[in-house]
Chain A
């Protein structure tokens, strides 16, 4: 989920950059050198996961999975997402330099929110695990698309309808991310529960 270059206004770009820098600062503070390799390689996994395409009827969407990354990393997801997005813009030219801050906010702020909202629900019962995972996936995309809409709307009030249209088109993605994140979380809890942080 990206906003391309050349659309947003100066105010929105700089607000995005400031929030992204602050968030990255907090995130980096929370990572010590014992954990940094873990964060880095999870960022690579996040990058690779975004190459997985899922069919919806004749069309296909790629996974985003910022919900999972948020659940696993908390605030450390911000620098991880920044890294992954920077590498994406170097290799694929998705998004670029000036919108990087805004794009980090769009992807990473929901990840952190989801961490604090839904991590406490995990590990109680298997039904609840799936539900919490589903909600984490669903809400991370919902928040992301809302932030994307807000960024456009703040740029120009005329973008209102466009923003609404974009949020609408993301509804199927929210459901799919929810289902995938739900299954993914139950899988992780069965196979390797240590990967999910115990407490906030």
Chain B
């Protein structure tokens, strides 16, 4: 389940310093999130697809990855046009479809896909360890990075525990249904998960102390400082800034 599908690659994006990529994704995502004009949002969408192409990711995997968003967008497309006020596009007895609502839906669709593509191309293309490294260089508190790396490391372990517990329940003839017994079983299962997590944490902590853990992780990734990082960041900032200015002039 937990796999860093995009983290290994040889593209230009993969070779950029994590720090550069984090800053770039923050600038572009917020600029895209705050944009209010459909045409400008399309430009951000184009930038994000260019980045995806540059990262040379498997297209099928990328589409697979943004699938959950389509369900959400479907819900939006059903809900908003009929509940929104404003200019009426089409009226079918009591059902009014609002034009403003439809425009809003278009904007939301393109913006959410854009932001997800940006995140996929720039952040999902690094390992969690590199992400931690990048965040550290950006002065994010060490404790938070510790939490991130540590809980990432143990998700797979805890998931194994969950599968073990579920398997044991199934061997005993448990079939999930809509009744109190099923809920109780799942509650005990979740409870056991927390108990095992806590025990595991004690053992891990003791083991780390035994090995002289001094509250620091050292990264083995070495990214060469080269001018491409700088140029990339300048390029991204210039693109973001010019689109923001374009939007201001437009209004």
Q: Which residues of A contact B (CB under 8 A)?
A: 4-8, 10, 13, 24, 28, 31, 33-34, 36-45, 47-49, 51-52, 54-57, 63, 65, 68, 72, 79-80, 82-84, 86-87, 89-94, 96-99, 158, 161-162, 165, 176, 179-185, 187-188, 191-192, 195
Contact A162 B69 (CB under 8 A): no
Interface string of B149-185 (1 = CB under 8 A from A): 0111011011101100000000000001110101110
B115 at the interface (CB under 8 A from A): yes
A45–B161 CA distance with the chains assembled, in angstroms: 10
Contact A195 B194 (CB under 8 A): yes
In the complex, the chain A residue whose C-beta lies closest to that of B182 is A55
A65–B112 CA distance with the chains assembled, in angstroms: 26
A83–B147 CA distance with the chains assembled, in angstroms: 7
In the complex, the chain B residue whose C-beta lies closest to that of A8 is B33
Closest 5 CB pairs of A and B: A6-B111, A183-B187, A40-B150, A6-B112, A45-B197
* 22 contacting pairs across A/B (C-beta < 8 A): A6-B111, A10-B33, A28-B143, A38-B201, A38-B202, A41-B198, A42-B194, A48-B155, A48-B158, A48-B161, A51-B1, A52-B186, A54-B183, A63-B186, A89-B119, A91-B2, A176-B183, A179-B180, A184-B187, A188-B194, A191-B191, A192-B198
Known: A5-B33, A43-B151, A188-B191. A36 touches B119 (CB 8 A): no
B190 at the interface (CB under 8 A from A): yes
Report how many residues on chain B are interfacial, defined by Cβ distance under 8 Å.
Answer: 84
Main secondary structure of the interface of A (DSSP, over half): helix
A110–B176 CA distance with the chains assembled, in angstroms: 29
Contact B186 A41 (CB under 8 A): no
Interface string of B187-231 (1 = CB under 8 A from A): 111111111111011101100100000010000000000000000
A170–B151 CA distance with the chains assembled, in angstroms: 28
Known: A93-B66, A165-B79. A79 touches B147 (CB 8 A): yes
A8–B96 CA distance with the chains assembled, in angstroms: 24
Q: Report the tally of A-B residue pairs with Cβ distances under 8 A.
A: 221
Q: Which of A6, A87, A94, A165 touches B33 (beta carbons < 8 Å)?
A: A6
In the complex, the chain A residue whose C-beta lies closest to that of B166 is A52
In the complex, the chain A residue whose C-beta lies closest to that of B22 is A97
In the complex, the chain A residue whose C-beta lies closest to that of B188 is A187
Q: Which of A6, A31, A97, A158 touches B25 (beta carbons < 8 Å)?
A: A97
Most buried by B among A33, A48, A83, A191: A48
B51 at the interface (CB under 8 A from A): no
Q: Which of A65, A83, A182 touches B148 (beta carbons < 8 Å)?
A: A83
